[in-house]
Every structure is written in structure tokens, then in C-alpha cells.
Structure 1
Amino acid sequence: FNDNPVYKAVLQRYIDYLVSRRFPLLWSIEGGRSRTGKLVPPRYGLLHWLLNAAERFDKTQPLYIVPLSVVFEQVVDVDAYAHEQLGGVKKPENLSWFYQYLQSFKTPMGKIHIRFGDPVQARVDAGQPRDPIAVERLAFETCVELNRSTPVTRASLVCGTLLAASPQALTQTELRSELDILLDYLRATDCKATFPLEQSAEELLQASLPELLDSGVVHCFEAGIEPVYNVVEDKALDAAYYRNNAIHFLFTGGIADLALAKLYIDGCGDEPLQDLEEEVLQLRKLFQWEFFFPEKEEFLEGLYRDLDIRHSEWRELTAKGKDGLHQLFRELSPLLGHGALEPYLESYRIVSEQLLEHGSAEDFDQKAFINDCLNIGRQLHLQRQVVSAESIAKFMFNTGLKVAKSRGLLDISVSSSELGKRREEHAEDMRAINRRVRALRSLASARRSGILN
């Protein structure tokens, strides 16, 4: 509504009214519904107005932002979200759309779960100039707390497990075994769930598989020796939406796996634990537009705690260098890097390779570039050079461009030769990290097949 000054002025006055009388205000900090299944970057407009109003009125009482998580076990609109991310045009919400929307409710979609996080206090100091980044900091703290309060669902774990194995289908025994390992891990963490975590994998599957099969996200092939399950090829983004309901509990461990893989594949120096920390922080920087990270020290403590849960002797083994890391990777369980992070890394690689084909930064057309990435991504997926169909999505490529811009790859002030050099270095970085995440996927597959016990 930036182009509607009357609406904007009325809304600002209404927020002033609510704050002056200490009335509650409910809004989406993301600016709308998430179309990815995970928390996306916040919008600051209403938060700015809220703090402005608080500064003008009673400053003696604290102002609190209370994170509110609303989680759907399945979402009616997820097909439409996927269609848009693949480059499709959003369908007009007319009478015909509304009728079809109502008809879709005939398919059972499970429950809606509401959770409240710990309140985040907005700091309003009378007579003091506001910190220029106060709003961003408040939004960031709110989103971190919102993630902590958001529970995982059964569907998120089933879809995440199937996507991590894709394109390989899993028997029910394999699926149950993978989920048992994942549930053991989640029980040991401070994980919130919409179901009792004491529940067995068999009970979880009985409750969630029928709904996922009915909605067409998961397919069961029963004509062979035994039934096998996989995510339907053109439903990868639908399944990723549900998987992303749990991604905030998995990405920290995924970053640890990737950092350890770098030490094992590329080698480490005299201080492997220090090398690990440096690589972890590099990955944290790489994924800063995908996930909400707590402060550096808190993040590192959480990552080390995650590794403690998955292998009690990881420090000792890492300190031994390559031989110790070899043993660690045989025993570390569950492996999280490929399932949690591979789609993002594949999309970043597509963006990096496409930038090599692009000329000057001055005539850069972002919309055309994203469309090119979609087409190249589809080709690479057909050639199986890209494993995850979910890697081919507009929001993924847009984030990949943010990474590129942060590295100066669209800087119009540098020479073409310098720009080409930067882009080649970035592309090689993305190739290397994708090789590492592929190695994690291969290791997980070898474990399932029994090659590694």
C-alpha cells in the first residue's frame, strides 16, 4: 500500500491509537503467508510504526512482541505456491477460484497447531535517539524466538526423509528405520513437535502417510517385491514446503556436517577444531539469507551441543585429523547436511554458473536471469547433475543472487576482468561445496544399502 497515501496514513493513526491505549496488535512479521514452509525475512514497516508510536506515547510500560507460530499439517494452497515458484503466474482469486478452494477442503488436511514463544521486549528509551538498526535487531530477535517455538510436524519428518533419499525410493522398513534415527535425535534436542516425540516411527507413519498419499505428494509403488515410497516428481516443492516446517531444527547440524566434510575432503591444519569453527562461521555467513541465526557464541554452542548429541567423541576424533574424521563419518548419526542444505547449495551453484555466462553488471535484468536459471536448472535436473527438483525455484535463485551481490558479483564499479575473476572464484566455491554435500548424500545412501554398517 505504499502507493496509497490515504490508506497508509489511516493505518499509521490506527496503530497510534492501539499503542496509546495498550491494546494488542496482531500481524505477520513476514508481510504475508510463507510460500516456502520456512520463516522468510521479515518486513520492517509495521514494526517501525509500532516503535514510533511507542516513543510518542507512554514509555513507562514495556512493549512486548509475542511470537505466534501457526503450523498447518498440510496446506490447501501448497500446489499454487509451487506453481508460482516454478515461474507460473498466480491465478486470479475470482469466484471460480473461490469455488475450487472450497472444494479442496474435501481432502483431509490434518490439524492446525498454534504455539506461543517467549516475549521479546522492544527497547524504547525516553528522550534518547533510536539505534539505527533497532528495528532490524528487534525483528531478528523475534524471528529467532519464533523459530524456537515452531513445532515440527509428522508430515515434515516424512517428507524430509523421503527428499533426503530422493531420487531413491524407500521401502517401509527403510523409511521406518530412518525416522527412528531422526526421532531419537529430536528427542535429545530441545525440539517442539505437534505430536508426542515418544511416538514410534511406525505410529508416525500410520498417522501421516495416508494423508500424504491422498494429497498426491507421496507415491507408493506396490507392484514389485515390496511397496516403496517416494515423493512424486512434480511435487518436490510441495514436499519441500512441509519439510521446511522442520528445517529450523536441522540446519545447524547440517552446517556442522558440511564443515566436517570440508576438513575430511580438503584436509585440515595443525588445529582441526579451529579449522572447523572457521568453516562453520563461513557457512553461517553463506546461509545468512536463508536462516535466522542466534548470536555467534550462542550459535557455536548450539552447534557443538548438536554434535555432542550425534557423537559423544566428535571432538577427540576431529582433533586426530583425517583418520579421526574417517571414523567420525562412519558413526555420526543422523547425517543432516544433504537433507537440510543440498537444495539451497544446488540453486546457488546454478546461479553462479549462469553468472559466468552473463556479461556486464550494468545491463543485468534480474527477471530474465531468474527465468534463465529456471530453464538451466530443469535441464541439469534431467541430466541428474542437479539431484533435488526443489532446487529449481524462483525464491531459491533470488537468494542465490543475494549471495552473489554480497560477494560483489554484480558490482558495476569494477572492471570486467575483475568481475569475471570474482565470478569464477565464486563458481568454484559453489562447485566445491556441492561436491561435499554430494559426498554426504552418497554416504547416507551407502549406509541404507548396508555397504557401511
Structure 2
Amino acid sequence: MKPNGSPDNNGTPETTAPATTAVNDVTNIPVFENEESRDIIRANFTHFREDPFSFLKQVSLHYSGAGWRGYNNIIGQPIYYKGFSEQMKAQVMNSAIVRKKIVQLAERRVEAESSQGLLRESHKARRREDVEKQLVEVVDGIVDGMICKFESKRFIRGAYYLCMQLLARSYDQGIHVSSQEIQNIRRIATIAAEKKQSIIFLPSHRSHIDYVSLQILCYRLGIGLPVVVAGENLNFPLVGQFLQNAGAMFIRRSFGGDELYQSTVQGYVDTILKGGYNFSCFIEGGRSRTGKLLQPKFGILGYVLDSLLSGAVEDAIIIPVSTQYDKVIEMDGYVNELLGIPKQKENLWDFLSSSKYLSLKMGRVDVRFGNHWSLRGFVNEFLVKTQSNPDLVTTPKSDVRSKMLKNLGYKVLGDINAASVVMPTALIGAVLLTLRGRGVGKEELVRRMDWLSDRIRAKGGRVAAFGGLRTEEVLDRGIVVLGDLVGRIEGLAEETFYAVDRFKLSFYRNMVIHLFVSEAIVAVAMYTRIKQGGGIANQRMSYSDLFNQVTILSELFRGEFIFPTEGIVINLHTTLKGLEKDRVIKIEYNDKQEIESVELTDEERLCGRENYDFYCFLIWPFIESAWLASVAIIALTPPPEFKDVWVPVKDTHAMAQLAGKTLYHQGDLSYFEAVNMESLKNAFQRLEEEAVIVVRKSKTGKNPPVMKLSEEWLPQRDPETGKIIPEGQLWKFVENIAICRREGKNRRDSASVGTRVLTLVEKLGRQLFEATAEAKRIEEEDAEVEIRTGRKRRRRARL
């Protein structure tokens, strides 16, 4: 359907749509009344075999740069012209912070050489100049490998067309963006361009497609492409050059205390933001392998904040971005990593071999932009709230700065969650993994999807719009996209579906958990009483007991989920009121109108606790992971002969995962997804924060980190048998988690860490200590051999 006055559809999907209210002059993207999203790429995609003429016409238009394809008169600062890279490089190398660091390091080197008697006083000035020249050459190499290279419009036109073609083949339902957000983002970009301010896009990160989708959107909307922070692991031959010319800024995963590299990165960030160029970095750092948002990483975000705090930049506009997928291309790789298989280094062959995905129907991508806000406004508001002196936050090690940076990170994550839409595959995955029984009929699956959609909207979330399609049709589409993750049984009285691969399907279930994490915690806290059975009075839970259990779980998952910021008391009351309104629980009040107790409603019991169970099933796998990590820590109770041995962190994680796999197949662990390495690492991180374990890291970064149990948490061993005694602070910690686990037929609360489990972890713990001690012995022998060999070499040299 072509809008009036439009020479061609140029981005308008070929579907019936409401009347057009506006057409953007530059992008030719029409805005429709009462429509949530538009597909902005599929109208430009044509198979040569289906319509050779249209295909050739599209290629010709892109090659000639007709209309919006020319990427002329963009909103933002000028990019893609000859000499852009050299200009940026010169500005970075001449930036105050880089020059200052070069002088400092040269002076430090000269003084060190002088103090060692290697340099005369009269030679200091010349030596200082030589060192500065060497450091300038080092910076030159760093900058050349780091900066993006916006040089050729012909390149970016070809890159856009290539990426659009590839995405249109793999994501056959297109890339969707809100019609209103299209206009809003261009309006914001216009204001920012007039003030010469940068837009800082802060997207969620679930796939490498995140890079591509944001660049495609900015190109299509006629907005200046952002410089995108990317890991140096992507800078491999051919692909690295392509990405760098498309806007990638490559940085190391770890700076390792390299002061010159840190200053160069800060100088480049200052240059980008000072020039008003758009910028993008992933708030989570790496890609989420579990489907939910990760905790914020403060590396690059800290450099952005320091640009403003140092006065190098007056202000910038923050725009959180949510990118959701029907299906993620890298799923198989994620599963391997979560199961402990080492990540494969990116290379050209892997990149090219990924073309197998291009023939798959992987649904669609939905990109949503959150509400924009001023970075300067955020800083000023934070200083007013904390009554902090602005002069105290300018140093990188300032406590005020650290708190400000942490608040900034969690604010962005909250905004991303608020902007996110829930995809049909997420609905299907969440429903299938939160139902009792082997499978579910189609009618029941549709009913539960409708219920979940209503609950998402009631919580303020959004469900992806599918143009008025019935839920049955959305389900059919989602089942096709999920492929072999969902099984279908035919020949029964009713078409029945079941989860084939629960581990992979949990990725999609986790896309909705952020909306219901508070309800889930309340539900499993109540489960500690409800599972005891008996009459209604026996399953009623006092508010004080509920509050205590909710507090324990909230602290346990502080590093796993993004919680509301109102505080635990207000959040708990809000959650209870919501569950009462939904007729899931009933609240009893005392004479002072204070909550006295909570219990399930009669309606919830009559419907088989299906709504209550949904919340429990959402979080039970994470409780299993936390329990597994705490049980694995018991294995770090050293045998007497290994009392002072520190064990490698990486080996301890692997030991915990091996224990989890064993316990799952033996029936002592209910969820196989509980052994995923991401959740285990989060649990270990929480144990470190609580000082249950002590982690020692190498200052140079050459040696891997090691760990041991804290003395206060160390269980005692029976002096006669040598067995671990099941008591003490660590044992109580494990018990507090265990009482919230889903009860299985192989266990009861009277033995949350049963004899089988304890015997297994003791065995694995001894193996870990023995392997660590043996590795240390071999290392010491090798060092001794090296020392003897060095002595022989020096003796021969003297002779």
C-alpha cells in the first residue's frame, strides 16, 4: 500500500494499514494512526528469483544513493567524508588527557632510570624527549586500531544494503520500531544537533545483531550513526575492517592497569562527545546468555561520566534501547558456554559459516527506544539528593562518583526493562516452562498466553503487536520460529505441545522474569508454608515470617535481578496488594490495619494454583542455582593436609557445575538449567560479597584468581571420621535457601543436603584440592628447573 504522494513504498510494509497521518520528508516512512510498530526493512527486500526487475531497481537506487539512501543531510554532525579518521585521530592524540599522561609516564621513566644510576643529570632532558616520542608512537598505534573510520558514503550505502538483505532473509518478519518513536527520535536528534550534543544510545545486549540493528535504524531514519563500542575479539581479518568502517570502536576486554591505554580511551570518548557525535555502548558489557538483563558494567560508562565531570563535555542525551528477538542466532553457542564448553574465538570461518541461519525463519526483531534524559540533569539531581560537593566527584576513585555511576547504570537498566516488548516466543517459553505436567493442549496454551499477556500489560509492560492477529495465529508463528525447541504430539484427542529442550527454552522464559520477580519471590517465600500441606490455617503465613524470607531471597538475588528502587518494605506491600487484587492471595489485617498474615484465596485453590504456580516456576531454577553454588562451597572445606591451599576460581566453578549435572541426573536437582555457568557465577559473586568466600586476584593479572572459604564460615570436621559435620553458619545459609526449593520425590526438608549430596561434594572437593596441590608442585618444580638452567647459562657465559 503506497501513501499518497509517495513515488515508491521505500520502507512501507506491503500490508493494509490505517490512514496515513504524516510522511517524513527525508526517510519516506509513513506514520499511521493507532499503530504500535512498523517494519522498516522488508519493503526494501526482494528475491531476484521472485522479481528480478524490482531486485535490480533496488540495487540501482542504493548504488546511486537516491533519496534517503544517499545518507545526505543527516541529522547530526558531519560524518563519512575523506579525512574524517585522520581528523579524529589528531584530536585524540592532542587531547589534554593523553598529552598529560605521556608527559607523566616519560618523567616517571626518566626518574626511574636516574635513580638506578643509568642516566646522567645532563642527559635527562634529551632522554625525556626520546621517551615521549616513543610513547607518541605507541598512542598512534592504539588510536589507529581503536577508532572508527567514517570515510566513504558509498561504503556505508553498500554496507546498509548488504546487512538489510541478510537480516531480511534470517529475520523474515523484519525489524520493527514504534511509529511514534520514529518521530520522537528524529526530534531529539534535531535538538541535539543544534546544541552540538551527542546522543548516547545504551542498548541491551543479547546478540551480535544488536550492533547491526541500531546502525540500520539510524541510517534508515537519517540520523548520524553512533560510534559503537565493540570488543577487540571482533577485530579479526576482513570483518574487523568492515565493522570499523561501519562505526565500531574496538577496545580491549581488560586494560590491565595500562595507564596510557586508559588515557587514550578517555581521550577518544572526550573527543566524540565534545564533537557532538553519537555514541553507543552496551550497558551489560557482554551479551546475555540467559535471556534476561545482566548487571551493569561500569567500564565505558565510567569514561562517559568522567567526560562530563571533568568539564570536557557540557551535556549529552541518554537514550536506553531495548532489542528483543523472536529467536537469537547465537543460541547454540550460548548453550555450550553455559554448560562449561570454552567459548570459541571469533574468526572469519565462523562468521561465514553462520550463513546457515540466513535460510531460517527466525521471526522478527523489535527495537524500542526508552525515554530520553539529560546526563547533566542526572548528575545535578544526584548531587542535590546526596547533598554532595561537585568538587568531590571529579576524581575516578571518589566514593560519590562510584555511587553516582552505580545509580546511572541501574537507572538505564530500569529504563530498558520499561521500554522492552515481550515477543511471542517469550510468551510460549514462559507458559510451557511454568505448567505442571508433560505437555499442554493448544486451547489451554492459548488461554495461558492470553492470561500472561494481560498480566504483562497490567504490570506496565508491553507485548509485541501483531496487527490484530488472533492468539492462535501468533502461537502458530511462534512455534514455527522456535522449531525443534517445542514438540507437537498429533493423533491425540487434542493437539498437544511440550518443551523438548528446556535449557534453550529457558532463554525465552527469562525475557519476562523482570516483570514478575517481586511476585515470584513472594510466592516461593509462601511456598515454605504451603508445601507443608494440611488445612488452610496450617498454610497461612504470618507477615513477619514472610518479610524475613523475602528479605533473605532479595539479598540472595541482589546480583541476579533488577529490583524496584523503592525499598523492600514498599516493594513488598505493593506486590502483596497486586497479588490480592488478582485474587491470588488473601491478606488478613489486625486492629491497626497492619498486615498480619497472607494465604492463598479459595479461587486460586479451586483453579489448581495455576497463577501462583506460574510465579514459583519462574524463579525455582534460580533458587536451584543458588542452592547448588552454596552446596559446592561446602566442598571447599579443606582436608587437614590441604589446610592452607587456595583453589582456582575457574576450577571451583567447573566443580560446582559438574556436581550440578550429577545431582540432576541422580534426581537431587530439579532443573537442568540451574547448572548454567552464568547463574553459578552470579551466585559465587554474591557469596564473595557476603564474605562467605575470599577471592585473591593477581596484581599483574598473569596468575588466575584463587579462592577459599572464610574462617568464620568454615564447617568443622569430625576428628575421628574426618567427615564434615552438618552444622554451623554455612549449613544454616544452605538451609535458608533449601526450604524454598521445589520439593522433589527424592528429597524432603529434613535432609536438604542429604547424605548423597554431601558425600558427592566432599569427594569433588578432595579431588579439587589434590589437583590444585599437584599443579602447584609441578609449577614449583618447573620454576626450580628454570632457575638451575639460568645458572648454567650464566656460568657458560662467564667461561
Question: Which TM-score bucket, shorter chain as reference?
Answer: 0.7 to 0.9
1:258 matches 2:521: no
Once the two structures are TM-superposed, the CA of residue 224 in structure 1 deviates from its matched residue by 4.9
2:487 touches 2:498 (CA, 8 Å); kept in 1? yes
Return the alpha-carbon distance in structure 2 between the equivalents of residues 247 and 71 of structure 1.
14
Distance verdict in 2 for CA 1:223–1:362, change over 3 Å:
farther
Task: Report matched runs for 1:143-182 at 5 Å.
Answer: 143-165=413-435, 168-182=438-452
Deviations along 1:191-227, one digit per CA (max 9) or x if unpaired, are 11222698653233122111112xx221223355544
1:16 and 2:279 matched? no
% of aligned pairs identical?
Answer: 21
AA partner of residue 507 (structure 2) = Y
CA distance in 1, matches of 2:437, 2:633: 28
- Of the three residues 74, 81, 97, the one matched with 2:327 is 74
Q: Distance in 2 between matches of 1:197 and 1:258?
A: 37
Determine if contact 2:713/2:730 at 8 Å carries over to the other structure.
Answer: no
Q: Distance in 2 between matches of 1:7 and 1:376?
A: 41
Distance of 2:345 and 2:668 partners within structure 1: 35
Preserved contact between residue 30 and residue 41 of structure 1 (Cα < 8 Å): yes
Deviations 1:366-417 (A, max 9, x none): 2222222222222222233322221121111112212333443225343744
Shift of 1:68: 0.8
The match for 2:498 is 230
1:169-318 equivalent positions in 2, closer than 5 A: 169-195=439-465, 200-213=470-483, 216-222=484-490, 224-232=492-500, 235-262=501-528, 264=530, 272-295=542-565, 296=567, 299-300=571-572, 302-311=574-583, 314-316=586-588
Would you say the 8 A contact 2:519–2:575 is kept in 1? yes
1:381 touches 1:389 (CA, 8 Å); kept in 2?
Answer: yes
Matched residue, 1:447: none
After the TM superposition, which residues 356-367 of structure 1 pair with which residues of structure 2 at under 5 Å, given as runs?
356-360=634-638, 363-367=646-650
In structure 2, relative to structure 1, the CA distance for the partners of 1:200 and 1:88 (3 Å cut) is: same
Q: Kindly indicate whether the alpha-carbon contact (under 8 Å) linking 1:188 and 1:309 is maintained by their aligned counterparts in 2.
A: no
Q: CA deviation at 1:181?
A: 2.5
- Separation in 2, partners of 1:207, 1:260: 37
* Structure 2 residue aligned with 1:349: 627
Give the Cα separation in 2 of the matches to 1:196 and 1:27. Answer: 30
Change (3 A) 1:5 1:237: farther
AA paired with 1:118? N
Task: Indicate if the aligned counterparts of 2:266 and 2:303 stay in contact, CA closer than 8 A.
Answer: yes
Q: What is the CA–CA distance in structure 1 between the aligned matches of 2:737 and 2:477, rounded to whole Å?
A: 39
Displacement, 1:269? 12
- The residue that corresponds to 1:429 in the other structure is 736
> For structure 1, which runs of at least 5 residues remain unmatched after alignment?
439-453
1:12 deviates by 1.4
Distance (whole Å) between structure 1 residues aligned to residue 440 and residue 564 of structure 2: 35
Offset at residue 326 of structure 1 (A): 6.3
Aligned CA distance change for structure 1 residues 325 and 111 (closer, same or farther; 3 Å): closer
Structure-2 change in CA distance of 1:137 and 1:290 (3 Å):
same
Using a 3 Å threshold, how does the CA distance of structure 1 residues 313 and 377 change in structure 2: closer, same or farther? closer
| SS of structure 1 residue aligned to 2:463 | coil
Which secondary structure state, in structure 2, belongs to the residue aligned with residue 414 of structure 1? helix
Q: Distance in 2 between matches of 1:53 and 1:145?
A: 22
Following the alignment from structure 1 to structure 2, what is the Cα–Cα distance between the partners of residues 236 and 245? 14
Quickly say closer, same or farther: Cα 1:86–1:58, change in 2 above 3 A.
Answer: closer
- Code of the residue aligned with 1:129 in structure 2: it is L
What per-residue deviation string (whole Å, max 9, x for no partner) do you get for residues 292-351 of structure 1? 1122166335423531442287324996757x5463751666223322101111111212
Matched, 1:90 2:331: no
Q: Distance in 1 between matches of 2:461 and 2:734?
A: 36
Paired residues of 1:156 and 1:246 also in contact (CA < 8 A): yes
Q: Residue in 2 aligned with 1:444?
A: none
Instruction: Return the letter of the residue paired with 1:304.
Output: L
Query: CA offset at residue 165 of structure 1?
Result: 3.0
What is the match of residue 294 of structure 2? 40
DSSP 3-state at the match of 2:472: helix
* SS at 2:422 equivalent: coil
- DSSP 3-state at the match of 1:67: strand
Name the amino acid aligned to 1:375.
Answer: L
Q: In structure 2, how many angstroms separate the alpha carbons of the residues matched to 1:148 and 1:370? A: 33
Choose the corresponding residue for 1:113, options 366, 379, 393: 366
Q: Please tell me whether residue 56 in structure 1 is matched to residue 310 in structure 2.
A: yes
Whether the 8 Å CA contact 1:166–1:388 is kept in 2: the answer is no
Read off the aligned partner of 2:738 and give its amino acid letter.
R
1:391 lines up with 2:689 in the alignment: no
Q: Deviations over 1:78-123 (max 9, x none)?
A: 1101111101122332233122211212111111111112235430
Deviating more after overlay: 94-103 vs 191-200: 191-200
Structure 2 counterpart of 1:368:
651
Q: Is the 8 A contact 1:185 1:309 kept in 2?
A: no
User: How far does residue 359 in structure 1 lie from its aligned partner after superposition?
Assistant: 1.4
CA displacement at 1:357 relative to structure 2: 2.9
- Name the CA distance, whole Å, in 2 between partners of 1:389 and 1:415: 28
SS at match of 1:371: helix
Q: Which residue of 1 aligns with 2:53?
A: none
Aligned with 2:404 (options 121, 134, 138): 134
* 8 Å contact from structure 1 (residues 183, 201) kept in 2: no
Q: Is the 8 A contact 2:289 2:678 kept in 1?
A: no
Larger deviation: 275-284 or 374-383? 275-284
Structure 1 CA distance for aligned equivalents of residues 498 and 503 of structure 2: 13
RMSD over aligned Cα atoms:
3.2
How many Å separate the matches in 1 of 2:666 and 2:355?
39
TM-score w.r.t. structure 1 length? 0.84
**Residue pair 1:69, 1:115 contacting (<8 A) in 2 also:** yes
CA contact 2:430–2:509 (8 Å) conserved in 1: yes
Aligned partners of 2:324 and 2:366 also within 8 Å: yes
Q: Go from structure 1 to structure 2 and tell me whether the alpha carbon gap of 1:24 and 1:86 turns closer, same or farther (over 3 Å shift).
A: same
Deviation at 1:430, TM superposition (A): 1.9
Shift of 1:271: 9.1
Distance apart, 1:273 and its partner CA: 3.6
Q: How far does residue 37 in structure 1 lie from its aligned partner after superposition?
A: 1.1
Deviating more after overlay: 310-319 vs 351-360: 310-319
Higher strand share: 2
In the TM superposition, residue 159 of structure 1 has moved relative to its aligned partner by 0.8
Q: Aligned to 1:358, what secondary structure does the other structure show?
A: coil
> In structure 2, what is the Cα distance between the partners aligned to 1:252 and 1:337?
9
Cα distance in 2 between the residues matched to 1:313 and 1:34: 34
* Residue deviations 1:420-443 (CA, integer Å, cap 9, x gap): 6222111211221104799xxxxx
Confirm or deny: 8 A CA contact 1:346 1:434 kept in the other structure: yes
